[in-house]
Structure 1
Amino acid sequence: MNNPDLLKELRDKFNETKKKLGFKSSFEEINEIFFINDFINYERFVNEFFSRQLCRRIMEVYNSWLSYLHGLIMPNPGNSLMIMENRMLGEEDKKKISEIIKKILSLSSMNTLIIFNKNKKDEAKLIDDSVKFWKEYFQPEMKRLWKK
């Protein structure tokens, strides 16, 4: 159930964080991709360090895809569904999936460095790069793959 007070707090904290960090992505863009409203409703709080909470959510979404994509190109021998999906993919598709995996790993590494370095400019870059990657590469490639 949506908590209107919590969602207002989220918007306020988002706007404050966006201004402080200087990232360009809008709330609507980020919410459409990473379901920030749902995440905050589930968590039931907006962290005082909201930028880290936002980055954690972004990484959770990408990491869930990472596991699935890895299974497509290197299926577990005990998972007949993934083996069937793997066999439906051509070599070019597997290369594209490998490229997607590399980019997700790059974003994940960037997030880890931010945790250690606490660099707010890098945090803003991670947020914008994550949205840009989704819109310009990840989503179009995934749609193309699933049309097959």
Structure 2
Amino acid sequence: MSDSILKTDFNDGLLYDWNIYHLHLTKQFRTDGFAKRSNYELFVYLTEDTTYFIQVYSHNKKNLYSTEDMVRIIYDNWSHLIEKNRITSAIRLSEEIDDEAYGKLRKANMTTFVQIRENEIFGLIDGGYMSNGFSTEALRNANHLLRCDLQEHLAL
């Protein structure tokens, strides 16, 4: 696990956008227990009870964290995971977005649809992120907890 987990202001766009985790493949660890940077990363999609191994890429791969092929791999192998996020109406993206553009949009905290093939468009696979980079799902969960806490206090 990366030491970014200790940074409260770190936002993982790949995770928030496509529910894809990246793991550094290494046997070397720092003295504080965190993994040292490695040449390769494993990309996985997690559910509550299953880990789906997507692909291993070189850490030097261009547009590593915005490679739309990862979404294509998920859909081609485990379509049930993201079928609910498929846009089924007859829409098309007005402009084709490549991996580099996804990276730029993500860096600007702009959630967008991902088109893996003609007529196969997906949106909000993991809920997306807010304009400040925070996870939409995390905000939704925090609001839910606050509402529950408020209702509990009002019931007293």
Common fold by TM > 0.5: no
Flag the structure with higher helix content. 1
TM, length-normalised to structure 1: 0.30
More strand by share: 2
TM-score, normalised by the number of residues in structure 2: 0.29
